[in-house]
Amino acid sequence: MLLIMEAKERDEPDTELGLRYELVNTRHGRFLANPNDTYIGRAMVDYGEFSELESQVLLQLLPAGGTAVEVGANIGAHTVALARKAGQSGRVYAFEPQPVIFQNLCANLALNGLTNVYPHNQACGSAASKMRFPDINYALKGNFGGVSLEMLPDVQTGMMIEIVPLDDLGLRRCDLLKIDAEGMEHPVIEGAENLIKSCSPILYVENDRPEKSVELIAQIQNLGYRAWWHTPPYFNKDNWANNAHNPWPGVVSVNMLCVHSSRKTNMTGLTEITSADDRPEKRRQKG
């Protein structure tokens, strides 16, 4: 009886944890979002979408019934939309290494009733290994989508996570490979070379670190791909919430849309990358 009474007295949640998600209706479904996340979470709360101009392109690249692999899924802002496009006969393999954000991703998949997504609490790299992910206080304000594994401190506490090569998936079909790995795009592609060579997926790869750009572009071109810059602004003036406030004036995503040279491609509105030292900011300076 004493145990029962103690349980009743402890019905109130422990507010000391401090992390309070908001349940929001968005363009692509219902989401739990962390309003302390200054980019993705805040955008979902304030605009009902995140980087929608990216989503609009990604949805054109994935056919119904297709297979997508997303490295750096975060809370699923793109994952949910891709899964709806793929449909029940399609598949989305979503990788998110941050344990707390991975929980948020899975919650959003469940909220939207999606059973065609295979979520992995793993990082992707050139070879199998492990690392300890440090404890991060997600109740404080921060850009949690910008956490880079290569910049994390070597710690003795925290959850152990796996780093896996995408080739280990053994996929026979992959239509779209999206990589947003915060500076780790090169080793991700190294670990996916068999997948890329056998399936020739369209690649959509973040390339926002100029110091790593030459190596990354050369790597993709050496795999037989042509590439185009896609630099959509973070803010979408036609956002789902009709919110006119733009907290990110001039801020854009810097991505490459890459298609294998064996495919006939009629790309309009994008600038082709002609050399490994090409950068969109250099083009703007020349213009």
Task: Tell me the per-residue pLDDT of 31-68, one tens digit each, with 9 for 90 and over.
Answer: 999 999 999 999 999 999 999 999 999 999 999 999 99
Non-local CB neighbours of 258 within 8 Å, separated by 6+ positions: 202, 203, 204, 205, 220, 225, 226, 227, 228
Please provide the size of the chain in residues.
287
> b/e string for 13-52 if b means 16 or more Cβ within 10 A?
eeeeeeeebeebebbbbebbbbebbbbbbbbbbbbbbbbb
pLDDT at 10: 45
Residue 201 CA: distances (Å) to CA of 63, 117, 150, 195: 12, 18, 26, 8
Question: Residue 123: enclosing H or E segment and its boundaries?
Answer: strand 122-124
- Burial degree of 223 (CB within 10 A; 0-12, 13-18, 19+): middle
Walk me through the domains of the chain, giving residue ranges and CATH numbers. 51-143+154-286 (3.40.50.150)
Nearest 10 degrees: Cα torsion 224, 196, 148, 82:
110
Q: How far is CA 73 from the centre of its chain?
A: 3
How sure is the predictor about 252, in pLDDT bands with cuts at 50, 70 and 90? very high
Nearest 10 degrees: Cα torsion 84, 236, 258, 81:
-10
pLDDT at 285: 58
Is the per-residue pLDDT at 75 higher than 90?
yes
**What is the overall mean pLDDT for the chain?**
92
pLDDT at 149: 84
Task: Tell me the per-residue pLDDT of 196-244, one tens digit each, with 9 for 90 and over.
Answer: 999 999 999 999 999 999 999 999 999 999 999 999 999 999 999 999 9
Is the per-residue pLDDT at 183 higher than 70?
yes
Residue 33 pairs in a beta bridge with: 22
Nearest CA-CA partner of 232 in 215, 251, 218: 251
